[in-house]
Amino acid sequence: MSADRPATRLATRLAFFVAGFGMAAWGPLVPFAKGRLAVDEGVLGLLLLCLGFGSVVAMLLTALLSARYGSKPIILIGGVGLTLILPWLVVAGTPWALGAALVAFGASLGAIDVAANIYAVEVECAAKRPLMSGFHAQFSIGGFAGSAAMTILLWLNVGAFASTLICASFIASIMVLTWSRLPQRAQAQRGALFVMPHAIVVLLAIIAAITFLIEGAILDWSALLLVDRGLVPKAQGGVGFMLFSIGMTVGRLAGDSVVSRVGDRATLVVGSLMAVAGFALLLAAPGVAFAVASFLLIGLGASNLVPILFRRAGTQKVMPTGLAVAAITTVGYAGLLVGPGFVGFLANFAGLPNAFAMLAALMCLVTVSARSVTIEAR
């Protein structure tokens, strides 16, 4: 079955949507997990590292298995894993039990994320037109939908366990739609399954890790920041990530048009500076309206950074495209899932606002690297 088919493009978009939905559904549950287990930010950071550990292991395996056998089975296994494990995140009664559940949940996220990105590169090449921003927009739409669905269900006092069952059932229904629309396998990678990344690929991977780390920190810590500052009640803590996802979605839906007008370098510079301004507004916000606006600004600024990095990975000539994309995906999503754990450690010693100030400083590195990325990766 050809990769250049409307049904295949739809299935790829659904895979990105499921990844975003599953990840974001966990965000509003973080304050509940912290309160249920009566742990501090340091222990919570360790638990988030469990999620990151599971994801990184799965990413490394996915990069190899997708290259040899294709991405379809890995996408399906990841989606099934999210469906089965999400409800366990709210019934785990000890830090050890929650840590084990987060390892499995992270493995499912890592598998579907890497496989979907590798699959997206093949679909875009078959279509011979830009599609990557649109695919990543579906991840953002999924993030908004997952955060909004979980936040609304909790706000309506549905109950945490019942809310996860509803969201898990929705994920399962999406995976049923995806099954018949994916070709049996993506094109397998011929030749070596591993080569040492070259300098430009390493740079792209580092920038991807920074960008994904910031997204992961907003997912895992924005609710706690808003609640601890008394801006919103606990049941509405997910509103920050929800609005961040709106900004990401709007920016990515317009991303291909924006890049075609101003180019990759200008998009990287302006977008990263917008995100830095959003963090400054968040930390200085005197009320909930300004805090809400800051998350929207951060999302708009960061929206097209990652799609540009993946496109540059596809156009560089120093190593095989598939392996370069796999390396950037793995390192980038490692930042998304492992980084927030270290944010927790920093928050435990310096406070959560200072940890968010560090995220703004990291985004400045994206600004200063824009020229090197757009020159060297041609």
- The pTM score is 0.76
Residue of 366, 14, 37, 25 lying closest to 181 (CA atoms): 14
Which tokens sit at 152?
A: 């609304």
For the chain, the C-alpha Rg in angstroms (whole number) is: 19
Per-residue pLDDT of 62-84, as tens digits, reads 877 777 777 788 899 999 999 99
Q: Where are the beta strands (DSSP E) in 228-327?
A: none
Q: Give the pair of three-digit tokens for residue 102.
A: 């987060």
Q: Is the model's pLDDT at 323 over the cut of 80?
A: no
Q: How sure is the predictor about 270, in pLDDT bands with cuts at 50, 70 and 90? A: very high
Which residue type occupies 370? A
> Which is higher by pLDDT, 15 or 180?
15
**C-alpha span between 333 and 312 (Å, rounded):** 17
Mean pLDDT over 341-358 rounds to 85
> What percent of the chain clears pLDDT 90, i.e. is strictly above it?
22
The total of other beta-carbon atoms located within 10 Å of residue 215's CB is 29
Give residue 367's pLDDT band: very low, low, confident or very high (50, 70, 90): very high
pLDDT at 291 over 60: yes
Q: For all residues of the chain together, what is the average pLDDT?
A: 83
Least reliable range by pLDDT among 36-45, 166-175, 211-220, 258-267: 36-45
Q: What is the DSSP letter of 2?
A: -
Q: What token pair was written down for 131? A: 């599609």
pLDDT of residue 29: 86
Give the residue among 323, 328, 4, 331 at the shortest CA–CA distance from 190.
Answer: 323
DSSP class of residue 233? -
Q: Residue 312 to residues 70, 80, 123, 144: CA-CA distances in angstroms?
A: 22, 31, 16, 27
Give dist(CA 43, CA 46) in Å, integer: 5
